[in-house]
Amino acid sequence: MFLLRRCTIMKKLFFVTLMTLLVSNLLIANPSETRDSVVPRTFEYVRYGDKALMMDVYSPVVARADSACVVYIFGGGFVIGSRTEKSIRALCQTLASRGFTAVAIDYRLHLQEVNYDTVSLFNMQGVFRQAINKAATDASAAVAYICAHASEWGVSPSRIVLSGSSAGAIIALQVDYSRCNSLPPAAALPAGWAPAAVVSYAGGIFTEHSRPKYATPPAPTFFMHGDSDKIVNYKKFPPVIRTGLYGSKKLHRHFEKKGYPHWFFVFEGLGHEVASLHNYMYEEFEAFVNKALRQRQMHYDATVRDNQLKPTKWSKMNVFDLYKK
């Protein structure tokens, strides 16, 4: 039963990934020869016993004057996914052609190790907490590795942007949340380091004891989310108690209340499809990052209606549909 259920989940997540690739290939402009010529170098950045985690570093064709770097974290429900996926390779090549050093990283997929027959509504939060914290710990170690090689790679440590889709967006947000609150997943980060910006495609933040609170201000953050998303819930999951995964809607309200700089794009009528837009939102991504790097205080709230973006079955699915048998 355990293996059957895992296979079912992986099939569903495979179709999420396939949908991402199809949307990306339909929407992205034809890649240029310059972009396709960017070949990554691969490095081991941390090891757990015989388990090595790798990163691919895409050096810029012509580097930006600010030596900015983008760390991109793939999605896949903490079950599947890879830094070498076609859409992520295309994203990193495009970022490199635009002057960024782009880095795609591995992280531990904790939910591959979980016996789903033992998971229930009562312990689900603990299972996801462990998956998120492990992955955020790995992402922090990746940042530390990049900072240690910054001069060699032509990267400015103070101009590193964290970005990701779905589970990857959760990880990017969780790293900054952990940094601001001195939580264990951020322990590997260099002392005093902070991301220049965080860009989240359908992500959220997991809190263990209360609503989200930042002991120190978060990095400028770009939230993108579909208002029908129930996989990474647009508002919060579970909806009743204080702990759990807070989606972009709730985080936007908190950032607004505290005056934290951020952009908030809500995609009307879309669900988890928004996680696939990393190869569609280049101009918006770069505009946000440029303002963040110039330390502009930004507050931008937009409702997006785009006739090229259509709801699919992923607008109707929730997290139970994704992980159930």
For each of the domains in the chain, give its residue range(s) and CATH number, in order of start. Answer: 2-323 (3.40.50.1820)
Q: Is it the case that residue 177 has pLDDT exceeding 70?
A: yes
Query: pLDDT tier at 13 (50, 70, 90 boundaries)?
Result: low
Mean pLDDT of all residues in 116-143 = 86
Q: How far apart, in whole angstroms, are the C-alpha atoms of residue 306 and residue 276?
A: 14
CA–CA distance, 154 with 52 (Å, rounded to integer): 25
Question: Average per-residue pLDDT in the chain?
Answer: 88
Whole-angstrom Cα distance, residue 229 to residue 19? 15
**pLDDT > 80? residue 120:** no
- What pLDDT sits at residue 124? 73
pLDDT mean over 173-177: 98
Between residues 29 and 108, which one has the greater pLDDT?
Answer: 108
Across the range 247-254, mean pLDDT stands at: 98
Q: Which residue has the higher pLDDT, 17 or 41?
A: 41
Is residue 33 over pLDDT 70?
no
pLDDT over 60 (residue 27): no
pLDDT, mean of residues 231-250: 92
pLDDT digits (tens, 9 = 90+) for 182-195: 999 999 999 999 99
The CA distance from 237 to 132, in Å, is: 14
pLDDT surpasses 70 at 25: no
